[in-house]
Structure 1
Amino acid sequence: MRDSVLATEVLEPYAQALMSLAQSQNLMEPFGENVNALLSLLRDSEDLNQFLESPLVPPDSKKAVLQQVVGDQVHPYMKNFLMLLVDRRRIQFLGGICKQYQALLRELNQTVLAEVTSTVELNDEQKQTVRDRVIAMTKARQVDLDTKIDPELIGGVIIKVGSQIVDASLRGQLRRISLRLSSAT
Structure 2
Amino acid sequence: MTSQVAAAEVAQPYAQALLSIAQSKNLTEEFGEDARTFLGLLRADKQLHNFFSNPFIQAENKKALIKQILGEGSNPYLRNFLLILVDKRRIAFLESIFQQYLALLRQLNQTVLAEVISAVPLTEAQQQAIIQKVIAISNARQVELETKVDSELIGGVIIKVGSQVIDASIRGQLRRLSLRLTNS
TM-score normalized by the length of structure 1: 0.96
Letter in 2 for 1:119: A
The residue that corresponds to 2:65 in the other structure is 65
The residue that corresponds to 2:53 in the other structure is 53
The residue that corresponds to 2:156 in the other structure is 156
Letter in 1 for 2:151: P
Give the CA RMSD over aligned residues: 1.1
The residue that corresponds to 1:105 in the other structure is 105
CA contact (8 A) 1:34 1:75 kept: no
SS at match of 2:140: coil
SS at match of 2:60: helix
The residue that corresponds to 1:95 in the other structure is 95
Letter in 2 for 1:7: A
Tell me the distance in 1 between the aligned counterparts of 2:27 and 2:5: 28
Matches for 1:1-185 after TM superposition, within 5 Å: 2=2, 3-8=4-9, 10-72=10-72, 74-184=74-184
Change beyond 3 A, Cα 1:75–1:174: same
Tell me the distance in 2 between the aligned counterparts of 1:60 and 1:122: 43
Tell me the distance in 2 between the aligned counterparts of 1:30 and 1:64: 22
CA contact (8 A) 2:7 2:96 kept: no
Question: How far 1:73 moved relative to its partner?
Answer: 5.5
Deviant stretches of 4+, over 4 Å? none
SS at match of 2:167: strand
Tell me the distance in 2 between the aligned counterparts of 1:41 and 1:152: 27
CA contact (8 A) 1:34 1:74 kept: no
SS at match of 2:168: strand
Percent identical among aligned pairs is: 56
- State which drifts further: 69-78 or 88-97: 69-78
Question: How far 1:41 moved relative to its partner?
Answer: 1.3
Question: How far 1:65 moved relative to its partner?
Answer: 1.1
* Count of aligned pairs between the two proteins: 183
Tell me the distance in 2 between the aligned counterparts of 1:55 and 1:14: 19
SS at match of 1:160: strand
SS at match of 2:160: strand
Tell me the distance in 1 between the aligned counterparts of 2:74 and 2:136: 35
Change beyond 3 A, Cα 1:89–1:59: same
